[in-house]
Amino acid sequence: MHPFMKALTVACVTLGLTIASGLAGEPKSGGILKMYHRDSPASASIMEEATYSTLTPFMGVFNNLVLYKQDVPQNTLDSIEPELATSWSWSADNKTLTFKLRTGVKWHDGKPFTAKDVVCTMDQVRGKSTTNPLRKNPRLAWYQNVTDVTANGDDEVVFTLARPQPSLLALLASGYGPMYPCHVSARDMRVAPIGTGPFKFVEFKANESIKLTRNPDYWKPGRPYLDGIEFTIIPNRSTALLAFVAGKFDMTFPTEVSVPLLKDVMAQAPQAICVLAPQNVSSNVIINRDKPPFDNADIRRAMALTIDHHAFVDILSEGKANIGAAMLPGPEGVWGMPDEMLRKLPGYDPDVEKSRAEARKLMEKSGYGPNNRLKVKISTRNIPTYRDPAVILIDHLKHIYIDGELDVVETANWDAKVSRKDYVVGLNLTGSAVDDPDQNFYENYACGSARNYAGYCNKDLQALFDKQSQITDIEARKKLVWEIDAKLQEDIARPIIYHLRSATCWQPYVKGYSPMVNSSYNGYRFEGVWLDK
């Protein structure tokens, strides 16, 4: 998309949402928000899962210390506000972060929330809890810089860091930063979670429904407006959208309306309000650099050079998706590099034929050619959002003497397969919960990270990860982030094909909901949502 068009889109979305909320009038209390859910979440414990299948229904049960403002579409460090904390302060050396905590807050079972709960939660996510450990801990990499968390009385908690990390606040403000009670076991949190949030958990029937009810003792006066939220689990997307069109639901599941489906929804339910925005999920190629001949850097580079990004975007999203590097491109993304810088990276030159000619030379140098083609399995998850781009990738690889064979992997086995590096070349989707380099770089590109499926490891670059993480000046940090991101693309760490864009729709009487434009993971507290019925 042209930069001007991108800027215009963001402006329109923001303006639209502002006008919509402005015209909404005085919020009314009451009513149950009804949504469909795309699948049955593995558990109700946000801390143990890495999918918004869990996050969306259960984020309203909890509070964080700090949270991205729910009515601001773009998540930035400036859009973070206190939640269970009332304020925060950094020490002079930026290595100590102190939170003053809200008093009088109660867990849904009536017990008081104190600083001890924050310590317990942080011990759990840092893998330090011996009495109540998490069964799975997908965000261990996020908090490696936190060396200690201590309670100072009941109303103050102190985070000690190994080095300065201003973005720690961004991680804590994500939907993945809920506070858990000390007195409830990790097992109970998976089955019947207890939080301090605007909604209380009522029931979770696997494959059927999830129900939340209003928390009458919520610490924020007058909130939430809704009496409850009900999610009906409908894995069949056609049935779910038909039900939304027929008015059975007030909202679609967030980001579940693809560009082609959006046309159908708008045609059949013209009254619906739909916002098409980036998900901060990229489609990318993972290359197992331990398996010959892909240990050869020339072959990996040739693969990046043959990718025609625009073809993917045009075929799969009717031109709506974004092209970028590891960080979500602007204007929605805060850290994406400028287009002129992007175009210089391997595979991003608009002259695709020129790039492919260079790629063929590299392949020939490695001993491949028209009469000696390289055969490889392209593994991917057996769902359309993975399978469709994989088919296009196979077509693009043909141009450089690589014959790919599609190897579809049952969806439930995918992450385990790539985690144990049981693949040669794969097509993967990577979601970023927070539009911040600390989350993306450490999780997906740091040496030894569990989600670094490609096994890329560059110690020098890792030192730069640490360096950018400490910079407090946003503009100065951006420049270093662009440099790192460019190096990741030069090293063909995980060639990014495109950044997905999809829509969320709701009925016009649903007010106060503001979809985030640079993350699909942070905007589901629902305490400001109300029904104008």
CA 490 to chain centre: 24
Q: Helices in 401-473 by DSSP H: which ranges?
A: 414-419, 437-444, 459-470
Residue number with CB closer to other proteins (36 or 218): 36
Residue number with CB closer to other proteins (41 or 164): 41
Distance CA 90, CA 96 (A): 6
Residue number with CB closer to other proteins (16 or 235): 235
Distance CA 28, CA 265 (A): 27
Residue number with CB closer to other proteins (134 or 275): 134
Least distance in angstroms from the C-beta of 207 to other proteins:
5
Least distance in angstroms from the C-beta of 236 to other proteins:
5
Q: Which two tokens stand for residue 124?
A: 């759990």
Least distance in angstroms from the C-beta of 451 to other proteins:
5
Cα three-residue angle 308-310-311, rounded to 5 degrees: 70
Least distance in angstroms from the C-beta of 191 to other proteins:
5
Distance CA 188, CA 212 (A): 16
Query: From the CB of residue 467, how many other CB atoms can be counted at a distance below 10 Å?
Result: 13
Residue number with CB closer to other proteins (138 or 195): 138
Least distance in angstroms from the C-beta of 328 to other proteins:
18
Least distance in angstroms from the C-beta of 136 to other proteins:
4
Residue number with CB closer to other proteins (29 or 238): 238
Residue number with CB closer to other proteins (87 or 411): 411
Token pair 């930035």: residue: 76
Q: Which two tokens stand for residue 403?
A: 């014959």
Least distance in angstroms from the C-beta of 48 to other proteins:
6
In the complex, the residues that contact other proteins under the rule CB under 8 A are 34, 40-43, 48-51, 53-54, 135-138, 140, 187, 190-191, 204-209, 230, 232-236, 238-239, 242-243, 245-249, 268, 410-416, 419-420, 450-451
Given strand 496-506, what is the order of strands in its sheet?
Answer: 402-409, 374-381, 425-431, 273-287, 496-506
Least distance in angstroms from the C-beta of 474 to other proteins:
28
Distance CA 163, CA 175 (A): 24
Least distance in angstroms from the C-beta of 141 to other proteins:
9
C-alpha torsion angle, residues 284, 290, 295, 299 (rounded to 10): -30
Single-letter code of the amino acid located at 267: A
Residue number with CB closer to other proteins (152 or 419): 419
Q: Which two tokens stand for residue 332?
A: 């929605």
Query: If we measure between CA atoms, which residue out of 396, 379, 409, 376 comes closest to residue 312?
Result: 396
32 burial (CB, 10 Å; 0-12 / 13-18 / 19+) is middle
Cα three-residue angle 27-529-516, rounded to 5 degrees: 130
Residue number with CB closer to other proteins (189 or 374): 189
Cis peptide before 331 (omega within 30 of 0): yes
